[in-house]
Amino acid sequence: MIAALRSWKALGTSVHVLATEADALAPASTAVREVLEDVDRAYSRFREDSELSRLNATPGRTVRVSPLLATAIGAAQRAARLTDGAVDPTIGHAIRVAGYDEDFSLVAAKGPQQEVKLRAWRVPGWQAIRFDPQSRTVLLPAGVELDLGSTGKALAADLAARTALAAAGVGGVLVSLGGDIAMAGTPPSDGWRIRIAEDSRVSPDADGEVICLPAGGVATSSTTIRRWMRGAAVLHHIIDPQTSLPATGPFRTVTVAAATCLDANIASTAAIVRGEAAIDWLLSCHLPARLVENDGTIHYIGRWPDPSGLAA
Amino acid sequence: MNSLTPTQRDRGLERLRRLTFGATAGALVAVVGVGYVAAASYAGKSSTNASATAANTTTSTTTDSSSNSSSSSSSSSLQAAPQAPTTGSSGSGTVTSGGS
């Protein structure tokens, strides 16, 4: 049984913390707040004083970074390696050129009257980052800008859930950052209940599919959210590193369950970018997934529960 | 039986001291050498882990959690959850996973 829930806004999205023990909610929530504040200071792209902004502003120089930023860069490089570059942190320049260069509420508000000049070119690639995890030093060559938004939020959910559990001391904790969900500790008897939707703002009480999981992470990537217009072009935030443009594959929304929220997010984002090849790739990764085509057709992959009983 | 002169006895004692010193030094060199070879040959990494553990214990909460995460997320493949999801029903404590 879920004993308590607390919600607020952070990192430009919604935060939900659930605890199985009522007394654990306050210390767990405090711990999550502290982690998210650290994350914001370390790798927000929209704060000029964040470590990441300073790193992006000093190309060609070796910079020693904090353990948290080093962890985030290491996670982003691993994501790129495991997806053959489909999820690549060097999209920073591309997403900025596309118009996503400040908090999203301001990006959307500018509207179609603001033009952008888009051209297809391959991003520099994660191999361009000279990162030594032992010394925590990073050198970005000129022209390389990092965006840790995708893996960074999922990593933050994992870190927040673990830290919240340590602060709670007992029971189980679930942390949701804008629909990227991480679980830690002892789950409720029937598992954590998670509604699957294309928009994380959908009410948990709305109609739709609900899954139960005792542990791990769940992440959803969607091209239907964080969309904006520049001129006649409708843009979104999932950039294809091969073209530096918003991904244009057949799937608009992908949800994946994995051992961690980070791995779930890597897979869901990569599936959007990979397009048709995503189904075979997800099967080879043995990750249960739910994919929604642009026309609304839903595919259930691996051990994802299919309401009709027909899994791929 | 011939008795030794004092000079012969002193030379003998000096030779014995040199032999004792040489044997002791040789034994020490052998012990150190064998130990070094054994340590170099064994593929352990206890000193590195000990350093990392010591570093973790002296850092902040966030640093601890990030260090733990880096070790668990350094796998060479994406990791599946310990249990596959099952079909559920909405109720108290349901959260939404969706794009954001």
H or E element in which residue B19 lies: helix B6-41
Q: Is A309 within a domain?
A: no
Residue of B5 and A24 predicted with greater confidence: A24
Of the candidates A80, A107, A91, A129, the one whose C-alpha atom is nearest the C-alpha of residue A226 is A107
Residue A221 in contact with partner chain B when CB distance is under 8 A: yes
For tokens 């929220």, the residue is A261
Residues linked to residue A282 through DSSP beta bridges, in sequence order: none
A contacts of B88 (beta carbons < 8 Å): 190-191, 193-194, 210-212
Q: Where are the alpha helices (DSSP H) in chain A?
A: 25-43, 51-56, 67-82, 92-97, 104-110, 149-168, 261-274, 278-285
Nearest CA among A229, A263, A261 for reference residue A246: A229
A155 contacts B61? CB cut-off 8 A: no
Residue of B nearest to A16 (CA): B95
Q: What are phi and psi of A26, to 5 degrees?
A: -65, -55
Cβ neighbours of A158 in B, within 8 Å:
69, 73
- Measure the CA–CA gap between A2 and A5, rounded to whole angstroms: 8
pTM assigned to the model: 0.80
Half-sphere exposure of A132 (CA within 13 A, CB side): 7
In a domain, A10, yes or no: yes
Task: Tell me if A312 is assigned to some domain.
Answer: no
Q: Do B96 and A202 touch (CB under 8 A)?
A: yes
CB-based contact A220 B99, cutoff 8 Å: yes
CATH of the domain at A227: 3.10.520.10
Which of B59, B79, B83 comes nearest A214 by C-beta?
A: B83
Contact: A222, B99; criterion CB under 8 Å = yes
ipTM comes to: 0.87
Which residues on A lie below 8 Å from B100 (Cβ)? 13-14, 177-180, 199-201, 225-226
Residue A96's alpha-carbon distances to A73, A203, A263, B10, in angstroms, are 19, 31, 25, 91
Identity (one letter) of the amino acid at A27?
P
- Give chain A positions within 8 Å (CB) of B78: 82, 258, 263, 266-267, 285, 287
Q: Which of B63, B65, B88 sits opposite A210 (nearest CB)?
A: B88
Comparing alpha-carbon positions, the chain A residue that sits nearest to B89 is A210
Query: Residues 181-210, chain A: which have Cβ within 8 Å of B?
Result: 181, 188, 190-205, 209-210
Q: Find the CB nearest A71 among B69, B78, B97.
A: B69
pLDDT digits (tens, 9 = 90+) for A45-101: 989 999 999 999 999 999 999 999 999 999 999 999 999 999 999 998 888 877 777
pLDDT at res. A150: 87
Average pLDDT, chain B: 58
Tell me if A95 is assigned to some domain.
yes
Per residue of chain A (312 residues), what is the pLDDT tens digit? Answer: 666 789 999 998 999 999 999 999 999 999 999 999 999 999 999 899 999 999 999 999 999 999 999 999 999 999 999 999 999 999 988 888 777 777 777 777 777 777 777 777 888 999 999 999 999 999 999 999 999 988 999 999 999 999 999 999 999 999 999 989 999 999 999 999 999 999 888 888 888 899 999 999 999 999 998 777 777 777 778 989 999 889 899 999 999 999 999 999 999 999 999 999 999 999 999 999 999 999 999 999 999 998 875 544
Please tell me the total number of residues recorded for chain B in this structure: 100
Residue B39 has pLDDT above 60, yes or no: no
Q: What is the pLDDT of residue A236?
A: 77
Q: Which residue has the higher pLDDT, B19 or A111?
A: A111
Other Cβ atoms less than 10 A from the Cβ of A269: the count is 26
Q: Is the pLDDT of residue B36 over 60?
A: no
For chain A, give the number of residues. Answer: 312
Domain that holds residue A56: 4-301
Chains A, B: CB contacts within 8 A come to 214
Structural domain contains residue A295? yes
Q: Does B67 touch chain A (CB under 8 A)?
A: yes
Residue B62 · residue A34 · CB < 8 Å: yes
Instruction: Please indicate, yes or no, if residue A311 is contained in any of the structural domains.
Output: no
Q: What is the mean pLDDT of residues B8-37?
A: 55
A310 assigned to some structural domain: no
Does B71 lie at the interface with A, CB-CB under 8 angstroms?
A: no
Q: What's the gap between Cα A116 and its chain centre?
A: 25
Structural tokens at position A73: 């860069």
- Would you state the structure tokens that stand for residue A82, as one six-digit string? 């495991």
For an interface test with B, which of A8, A16, A68, A174 has the most B Cβ atoms less than 10 Å from its Cβ? A68
- Summarize the confidence of residues B11-20 as an average pLDDT: 62
**What pLDDT digit, counting tens, does each position of B40-65 carry?**
333 333 333 333 323 333 233 333 34
The separation between the first and the last C-alpha atoms of chain A, rounded to the nearest angstrom, is: 32
pLDDT at A1: 64
| Residue A308 located in a structural domain | no
> What residues does A196 pair with on adjacent strands?
B97
Number of domains, chain A: 1
pLDDT reported for residue A162: 98
Q: Any residues with CB less than 8 A from the CB of A154 and at least 6 apart, and which?
A: A177, A180, A182, A217, A219, A260, A261, A262, A264, A265, A266
H/E/C letters for each residue in A116-175?
CCCCCCCCCCHHHCEEECCCCEEECCCCCCCCCHHHHHHHHHHHHHHHHHHHHCCCEEEE
* CB neighbour list of residue B83: distance below 8 Å, 6 or more residues apart: A213, A214, A215, A216
- Tell me what percent of chain A is helix, strand and coil, each rounded to the nearest 5: 35, 25, 40
